[in-house]
Amino acid sequence: MGSEIENKIVDVIKKHPIGVTSSEIANLVGLNRMTIIKYLAIIKEKALIDFRQFGMAKLWYIPVEVNKEFFFRQLILNVCSNIDRKDIRSVINNSSEEMAEIILHKYKAYYSSDIFQLHQIQEAIKDSMNKIGCSFNLVSKDDKKLVIKNLKSPFEEGIKKSPYLGQVVIDIIGKIAANGETGYAKVVVKKSIAKGDAEDIYEIYFK
């Protein structure tokens, strides 16, 4: 319910590029002004909207999307698009292996352990992936296999232009899973956003 209201508020603001007051938003959305003010604060925290002061009123608007995350994501995609196809797989493999190692060490420090239990593997994979911009959820698990669904690539639509970047996620999953007490066998990609599917499905097998 909350996210639905947030989306309605953002849609209203998009239709008013010069800006719109909280009272006007309240009338258009059909909620009282105090409720709208609370939602505006939440949405602003997500950097989706901003306001400019106009006399005593705040005019809410959609800011230009230029931030550090946008900059580095686009830079990576542009670099990849300018690397020769023969070399890009090797470049991404080397880079993703290094990133996976860095992330693994962070979770080793967090758990104060060099070897993870099964629930820690699950937690570390989901936590790390969601923090880099994925939308990971556990589908099923047992002693032999984890099945995980992902609805969003950290490279957004750019993953379709540079599908090799999907290897970054696979390497991080594999590196964390290989650090478990159960023994690691392989990661199988059943569905892939990079290849045009609506979601990623990863099956992580243990020995």
Q: Residue 92: count other Cβ atoms within 10 Å of its Cβ.
A: 20
Res 65 pLDDT > 80: no
C-alpha span between 20 and 204 (Å, rounded): 49
Query: pLDDT digit string (tens) for 99-129?
Result: 999 999 999 999 999 999 999 999 999 999 9
CA neighbor of 188 nearest in space, from 198, 179, 133, 177: 177
pTM exceeds 0.85, yes or no: no
Q: Which domains does the chain have, with CATH numbers?
A: 2-61 (1.10.10.10), 68-206 (3.30.1380.20)
Band the pLDDT of 52: cuts 50, 70, 90.
very high
Band the pLDDT of 1: cuts 50, 70, 90.
low
Q: Calculate the CA 137 to chain-centre distance.
A: 12
